[in-house]
Amino acid sequence: MRMVDIIDKKRNGGELTKEEIQTFVDGVVSGEIPDYQTSAFLMATYFKDMTDAERSELTMAMMKSGDHLDLSSIDGIKADKHSTGGVGDKTSIPLAPIVAALGIPVPMISGRGLGHTGGTLDKLEAIPGYTVEISEKDFLKQVQDVKCAIVGATGNIAPADKKIYALRDVTDTVDSIPLIASSIMSKKIASGTDALVIDVKTGSGAFMKTLDDSRELAHALVEIGKGVGMDCMAIISDMNQPLGNAIGNALEIKESIDILKGNGPKDITDLVLTLGAHMVVMAKKADNLDDARKMCEQTITDGSALKKFGDMVAAQGGDRNVVDHPEIMPQAKFKIDLPAQKAGVVSKVAADEMGIASMLLGGGRQKADDKLDYAVGIMMNKKIGDQVKEGESLLTIYSDREDVDDIKKLLYDNIEISDHAEPVTLIHETIR
């Protein structure tokens, strides 16, 4: 079977067979299929989509391209959360220790930044010493002992996804339902979790811009999970403006610690508690969401979640002093405010462009092998619905260069001040 024929069939809208999909995945992993053909296949899939059967076959072929983690040595129901990616979305970082503080094992295998969105692993690497690459043996031991770990895909989890993910990032083929669904679910099935909550983002800063597309993605993810016997559900949450106030690696770690101290921004704290409550119910530690949410809140109030975060950081080689001294993370040379050009109500903060601004400052990758600047980013001082006076700071740019006129222009072009703002709904739907 020639790869060019498989590309041709997809390009013309045909439905690929299991064998054709297997040939593609095998060739990607072995290196037999060159990047230019993989890229062409990805672009064809982007435009022609895949049927449910193709989506499942692609997921399973990618999942089987590597190892399957056996978590059976860890006691209890293992619960995980995965997000489809957003701007300022650092929920995994406070969520894992909150849920783990309730005795629930959270084996989290996370990703790096993709497109304009940040990646949990990149953020955690802003903590001095923190390593996301640990052996499978150490990962299992850490989840058993500490109850949570946030790591990159260990050695050989879904190696097909590693290659495809990197190529999607640089070929503008990220926002495709079959490619996102197979990427997420191949890793999640291979990681062996029992229960999974998926946070599907919707809006300008998400890969799915409309509620309809987000709903379709959520259904695709949940169906693939259920098809292999996983307890799986999704929520659709808003990504029209950045989540929380911080965008940028070290800034987002600092905000995660604030959430764990009970001082986090309201929107992200609310989302973390909602996701946590679902995980607690799925892990059978509470009968209903209200009780589960109270249990999660209690881990913040009594400090157990913050301690758990410190334990996780230390177990992965990081400096747990970061909890009380976030300044041990890289610090930006310049902090530059963006003053409002008129008075009114903030009515739009385009999340994707805020993510791009942070990326252009050096906080994200423009090319697959770009090195990140952990210190840089943006702190939102005003969000949608906030009143602002002329000259008041809308946000602060954290930069290692003094001249940020290009960034300021991009930001001004993507923040609107009017006489009123539409209310923001944080959680749109729950899908089971």
Residues at the interface with ligand URA (CB under 6 A)? 84-85, 111, 114, 180, 183-184
CB of 183 to ligand URA, least distance (A): 3
Q: How many CB atoms lie within 10 A of CB 278?
A: 23
- Using DSSP, state whether 379 is helix, strand or coil: strand
Ramachandran angles phi, psi of 83, nearest 5°: -110, 150
CB of 179 to ligand URA, least distance (A): 6
- E strand or H helix at 338: strand 334-339
CB of 135 to ligand URA, least distance (A): 21
Are 421 and 384 in contact by the 8 Å Cβ rule? The answer is: yes
Are 139 and 328 in contact by the 8 Å Cβ rule? The answer is: no
Are 262 and 81 in contact by the 8 Å Cβ rule? The answer is: no
- E strand or H helix at 410: helix 405-413
Beta bridge partners of 101: none
Q: Which is nearer to ligand URA, 184 or 195 (CB)?
A: 184
Question: Rounded to whole angstroms, what are the CA distances from 336 to 136, 210, 390, 393, 403?
Answer: 43, 33, 17, 9, 10
Give catalytic residue positions: 82, 161, 168, 183, 187
CB of 215 to ligand URA, least distance (A): 17
How long is the chain? 432
Question: Rounded to whole angstroms, what are the CA distances from 352 to 89, 202, 415?
Answer: 12, 11, 11
Beta bridge partners of 229: none
Which position has the token pair 């405010």? Answer: 337
Q: Which is nearer to ligand URA, 111 or 248 (CB)?
A: 111
Task: Determine the residue with CB nearest ligand URA.
Answer: 183
CB of 160 to ligand URA, least distance (A): 12
DSSP string for residues in 323-351: GT-GGGS---SEEEEEE-SS-EEEEEE-H
Ordered alpha helix ranges (H), 113-176: 120-124, 136-145, 159-171
CB of 60 to ligand URA, least distance (A): 16
CB of 6 to ligand URA, least distance (A): 21
Would you state the structure tokens that stand for residue 372, as one six-digit string?
A: 């990140």
Q: Report d(CA 233, CA 267) in Å as an integer.
A: 21
Q: Which is nearer to ligand URA, 165 or 374 (CB)?
A: 165
Q: Which is nearer to ligand URA, 92 or 240 (CB)?
A: 92
Sign of CA dihedral 29, 32, 35, 37: negative
Which DSSP category does 88 fall into?
Answer: S
Edge-to-edge order in the sheet of strand 387-388: 387-388, 344-349, 415-418
CB of 394 to ligand URA, least distance (A): 29
DSSP string for residues in 4-58: HHHHHHHHTTPPPPHHHHHHHHHHHHHT-S-HHHHHHHHHHHHHH---HHHHHHH
Q: Is 167 left (phi over 0), alpha (psi -120 to 50) or beta?
A: alpha
